[in-house]
Amino acid sequence: MLSGIHLISWGIIVLLASLVGDSIILIGTIKYKALRFHKVIIATMQHMAVYDLLQAVFRIFPFTLALIADRWVLGEPLCHVEENIGWVCGGMTIFLTCSMSTLKLIIVKLPLRARTWNSKVGHKICGALLLLELCLNAPGLVVHILYNQGAIFFSYGDYSCSYENLSPTIPEWFMQYSVIRVFLISALCYTTLIVTSILLLIVARRAALRSGASLRWRGVSTVLLTVAVLIGSSMPWVALFVASYLGVQYSVTVYRAIYSLTFLNIMANFFVYAPQIEVLGSSSS
């Protein structure tokens, strides 16, 4: 059974790993060019690091502090921030990982065309995905403001803030929209991740055979590990979210374990990218 000390320790580990690791990724890619990937992939990594840092500051830190104090101590405004940051940044992480795997597949399949892409292309793609994520989350924010006066509560189940989705004032269509959105978007994204990862392995292998060289795992393995960590850490929560709206009962321990598992993706990217980081200032390729 998960105890408070286990969750506090896990929160501290994730917080420190993300703050240090994602900061190193940003500094290493922006100032020192320490990751030798395609510029579009680098831009995507940078955006993922920013969203991980936002989650570390506005989601993991409040979670850990609430566990220590056994209550919410940061006030109602930050309660709203924590809830919305979790949804937006969590969704963006999934979208960006899909983007990374798809872009890597295109780069391997069409290297000459991809050679003309620069970091601006990557930033534009990430910006478009952010706009999409905001549009998907906007109905929820509007509904809670108009129908529920923005009522938000602190849950001892996962030691985080949450809007009252089961309030009788919430329109029934919004409940259906929430479940359908999470289920369909997740199914589409996970399918994209799995299919592009398999195709990436096949295309990369064929390209290596045509050129008479061995398969270069450097970029391929990084993308595949990023995909694997995301699916492993987030899919159980998506299943639990949909199940809860279908009336499936589960224990608080199961809920906390699955919710805490989502933190893995926030801290994991640095450990995935670290083997590819060259000595700062190195000009080797």
Helix, strand, coil shares of the chain, percent, nearest 5, are 75, 5, 20
Categorize the per-residue pLDDT at 274 as very low, low, confident or very high, splitting at 50, 70 and 90. confident
Amino acid at 179: V
Say yes or no to pLDDT of 6 above 60.
yes
- The tens digit of pLDDT for each residue in 71-94 reads 999 998 999 999 999 999 999 999
Distances (CA, A) of 43 to 40, 73, 132, 265: 5, 36, 18, 18
Residue of 62, 59, 40, 39 lying closest to 51 (CA atoms): 59
Read off φ and ψ for residue 154, nearest 5 degrees: -95, 125
Residue of 98, 104, 90 lying closest to 204 (CA atoms): 104
Q: What is the pTM of this model?
A: 0.89
Structure tokens, 270: 């640095």
% of the chain surpassing 70 pLDDT:
91
pLDDT of residue 216: 63
Distance CA 238, CA 258 (A): 10
Answer with the residue of higher pLDDT: 211 or 124. Answer: 124
DSSP lists the bridge partners of residue 160 as 155
> Residue 155 region, left (φ>0) first, then alpha (ψ -120 to 50), else beta?
beta
